[in-house]
Amino acid sequence: MIAVTLIVSFAIRLTGDPAVMLAQGAGSITEADLERIREALGLNQSFLAQYIGFLRGLVVGDFGRSFMGGTPVSDLIGRALPATLALAFASLFVSIVVSIPLGIKAAVSRGRWPDQMIRIFSLIGLSFPNFWLAIMLVLLLSITFNLLPPSGMEGFSSFIMPAATMGIILTATNVRLVRTTMLDTLRSQYIMVARAKGLSNTVVLYKHALRNCSIPLITYFGLQFGGLLGGIVVVERVFNWPGLGTLAFEAVSARDYPVLQGVITVLSLMIISINLLVDIAYGLVDPRVRKE
Amino acid sequence: MTITPALSVRSLGVNFGSNQVVKNLSFDVYPGKTTAIVGESGSGKSVTSLAIMRLVEYMNAEITSGTILFHRDASGSQPQDLTQLSDKAMRKIRGKEIAMIFQEPMTSLNPVYTIGDQITEVLVLHEKLTQDAARVEAVKLLKLVRLADAEALLKRYPHQLSGGMRQRVMIAMALACRPKVLVADEPTTALDVTIQAQILTIMRDLQQELGMAVIFITHDMGVVAEMADQVVVMRHGEKVEEGAVEEIFARPQHPYTQALLAAVPKLGSMQGEALPRMDPLVVLDGNVARTLGESRQQDTARIDEAPVVEIENLVTRFDIRKGFFGGVSHRVHAVENVSFSIFPGETLALVGESGSGKSTIGRTIQQLQESTSGTIRFGGKAVADMSRAEKMRLRQEVQYIFQDPFASLDPRKTVGFSIAEPIRTHGLLHGAKAIRQRVNQLLERVGLSADQAERYPHEFSGGQRQRVCIARALASKPKLIIADEALSALDVSIQAQIIHLLMELQQDEGLAYLFISHDMAVVEKMSHRVAVLHLGQVVELGERRAVFDSPQHSYTRKLLSAVPVADPAQRRERTLLQGDILSPIRKVGDEPEHWPLVQVASGHFVAQEVGSAERLAS
């Protein structure tokens, strides 16, 4: 956590002088003006002093103020975070709901046509860059057929395209993962035992096999969440989604250090808590992980 | 009046793709009787059991011909042909009318559901019981398979149970709906002998109580002799012989059956003989059983010489840590105070059940495992005092053969490379040509041909791979070979050949063997002396004849009585052996009691048992 904030704070300062960015367009600027801006923003201090200042604020939940307009960073994040979380969970939900039945279907009909079809679709899904897919969806569904709003976050219909974009890409990898772990599990003897009991296919697959697959699946879904937050920056940009991605993007363009530091800190916090949730989930699905 | 069979299999054929694995198989099973299907690996016996359950479809195999007639009752009602039923109709029969027990108790229960969930599931499905009624019935079933504390067991998960307990749960599950036919596929193969004896007794008792027809699939002729009424011998997917169990054992007609029975080591067959005996091999030559070689005493032990290895008060323990920063809370007392010596040319057998520490002793001698205390001396010198060079030399003189010959060979290296590796490592020969010659010579020595050096492990059969492992062990010219369950994974006919090879090598090269095994019959056949291990301690040590013919310790007697003897004439009514295998895991500070060894006859040592003094006095 400390390491992440340190690296980010350092790297961001390599990008250039925000004072110059701020002053742009203000006509003639003297070196003395720039110096005044730097002093006001605290940029004249050493890197270490700035970083310690940032950490101090962090302890009491204060991320500082934006260089642009002086809004507290925590307010900006507070507005953007729910939008991002909603989109992230919607995409994850789409991918899980689609990939589990498809993956199981592929595993069961291994080598036959449903399996081949699912694998081909998964390959196609894997080959899409997310921004391209997003643009194509906007072109097709919003511009040509005018079915869905092209951007912004207003109501359920505006969720469909961004969640589908992220969801399709996640589903493509998840289907393969579900298929592989399912194939492994179906080879286990307890599956044969379940069949020998006379249980129906659905019960065998969804009760006996799926829960045994869930350890690798949960691990992967948890890891994927990190990647998902990375991918969301681009997708939010395309759909003009008022989330952390858009906020971060604008902060980078403006060299708005406090905002960017804040966003990154919140994102890494989220990834850490997801990992904690994953560990708790292990214990729920698999009694062998629980403590005696 | 003729009795209707519960199940009649007629001209059954099963294919994996274009490969026919069961051909034209016919047999009957009668209510209350047991038909055993025996055969070696690849004989199609397991596929037959799955075909009866119509589970082969889930393994990408299909029934290509024949009928499986199932008679629900003896009153001559129309039988059902299982091969013609829809999957839905078949699901009503599976688990209700015909149930199955599988080989691996460790993997046949679903790890993420409780025992209770898994048993009640069948009852709710077929008997339409409510959850509560099903739980009451499940408790009854667990008591039926002699499991104590049944209510508490319902809430446990499979990983909290021992192998023997899991197999009983499996039986309880199979019997839940009182099936007419029970298919048991190697139900005791993965279990220790005393647990095997328990399970077999339970199965036989319950068969009588419920009047089930049992199809018992096994490779173990001892178990067949003990359980079967009727025997079907299979080979390469075909039935070679069928008959009543006494007939098959007394007068086998088919040469394959003759060879198979000749290869089975029979416990008690060495009674009264002082030395191991190398028996002639009976091999199948075309369609004739031919006897090769002759019977010879294995008089190779040179006990007047200095021992190859001496072990004194060896202790090996493993710490079990709990949590991330947790301290040591428990210890596995794998080996406790073990002392013995092995002389040149001698075979010392270590026998015991799982957790007895026999493998740990082997690994500690080979320096694969560090001992906690005690001394190991090679040629009179303690390992602890040895220099690096001397330890290296030790690794050359002591070689190991493992149970799984496939896992112990590198799949990406030719067998020639694997055999040459110890020669190179220890610098025994120099120059590619000389090494090459030695490899060829070793391959021929173990009964393979020199041109097989360029092949990879997967191109060999299990028995051939074990020969490669033996060749590799011989490559460094060892004095001692530690064979850790080296015969356990092999079919009996192959096992007989490997025993033959090991004894021949001992005769020619004067090798000493530390033979680690759970198989009492094999141990009886090939060892000079025997050490019986229990919970990491030696409970009995002596010449093989003394230990087998007059066992003194109660544990030795229990082990010997649990071994099924491959002779139906010796079948005995057995009382149920009680208790599970004890665990060598103890809390820190809870030191095990040491059992001092007492000499009862020349060279025959027995651990003193609690209360043994009184028993001797009475």
Structural domains in chain A, CATH included, are 2-59 (no CATH), 82-285 (1.10.3720.10)
pLDDT tens-digit profile of B127-184?
999 999 999 999 999 988 888 888 888 999 998 888 888 988 999 999 999 999 999 9
B575 has a pLDDT exceeding 70: no
Residue to mutate among A197, A203, A204, with most B CBs inside 10 A, is A197
Binned at pLDDT 50, 70 and 90, residue B616 comes out as very low
Q: Name residue B332's amino acid.
A: V
Test B173 with A197 for CB contact under 8 angstroms. yes
C-alpha torsion sign, points B132, B137, B142, B146: positive
Select the CATH number that applies to the domain covering B309-617 from these four: 3.30.420.40, 3.40.50.300, 3.40.980.10, 3.40.50.800. Answer: 3.40.50.300
pLDDT at residue B599, as a whole number: 87
Span of A24-33, B269-278, B373-382, B515-524 with lowest mean pLDDT: A24-33
- Count of alpha carbons within 13 angstroms of residue A75, beta-carbon side: 7
Per-residue pLDDT averaged across B96-113, rounded?
89
Test A195 with B108 for CB contact under 8 angstroms. no
Using an 8 Å CB-CB cutoff, list chain B residues near A192: 50, 55, 58, 102, 108
- Closest-CA residue to B12 (of B36, B44, B58, B40): B44
* Nearest chain A alpha carbon to B58: A192
Test A196 with B104 for CB contact under 8 angstroms. no
Classify burial at A143, counting beta carbons within 10 Å of its beta carbon; exposed 0-12, middle 13-18, buried 19 or more: exposed
Select the CATH number that applies to the domain covering B7-106+179-263 from these four: 3.40.1180.10, 3.40.1160.10, 2.60.40.3670, 3.40.50.300. Answer: 3.40.50.300
Distance from CA of B454 to the nearest CA of A (A): 33
CB B150 within 8 A of CB B114: no
pLDDT at residue B617, as a whole number: 42
Distance from CA of B534 to the nearest CA of A (A): 27
pLDDT at residue B26, as a whole number: 94
Chain B residues touching chain A at CB-CB below 8 Å: 50, 53, 55, 58, 91-96, 99-100, 102-104, 107-114, 121-122, 125-126, 157, 159, 170, 173
A292 has a pLDDT exceeding 60: no
Distance of CA A115 to the CA centre of its chain: 29
Task: Write the residue in B53, B110, B112 that is nearest to A194 by C-beta.
Answer: B110
Per-residue pLDDT averaged across A242-266, rounded?
81
> Which two three-digit tokens encode residue B479?
């004095």
Rounded Cα gap, residues B500 and B492, in angstroms: 12
Using an 8 Å CB-CB cutoff, list chain A residues near B55: 192, 195-196
Outline where DSSP puts E strands in B296-356.
Answer: 296-297, 309-321, 328-342, 347-351
CB B225 within 8 A of CB B566: yes
Q: How large is the ipTM? A: 0.80
Distance from CA of A200 to the nearest CA of B (A): 7
Task: Write the residue in A189, A208, A286 that is nearest to B102 by C-beta.
Answer: A189
Per-residue pLDDT averaged across B447-457, rounded?
89
pLDDT at residue A96, as a whole number: 87
pLDDT tens-digit profile of A272-289?
888 888 888 888 888 887
Rounded Cα gap, residues B202 and A214, in angstroms: 36
Test B125 with A211 for CB contact under 8 angstroms. no
* Nearest chain A alpha carbon to B125: A199
Q: What angle do CA B570, B575, B578 make, to 5 degrees?
A: 130
Task: Write the residue in B102, B109, B112 that is nearest to A285 by C-beta.
Answer: B112
Total number of residues shown for chain B: 618
Test B91 with A200 for CB contact under 8 angstroms. yes
Total beta-carbon pairs less than 8 A apart between chain A and chain B: 72
Using an 8 Å CB-CB cutoff, list chain B residues near A199: 91, 95, 121, 125
Where in chain B is CATH 3.40.50.300?
Answer: 7-106+179-263, 309-617
Rounded percentage of chain B residues whose pLDDT exceeds 70: 95
Q: Is A70 on the interface with B (CB under 8 A)?
A: no
CB B525 within 8 A of CB B268: no
Sequence-distant (6+) residues with CB within 8 A of B168 are B142, B145, B146, B147, B199, B202
Classify burial at A68, counting beta carbons within 10 Å of its beta carbon; exposed 0-12, middle 13-18, buried 19 or more: middle
Distance from CA of B132 to the nearest CA of A (A): 20
Question: Alpha helices of A13-66 — where are they, by DSSP H?
Answer: 18-23, 31-41, 47-59
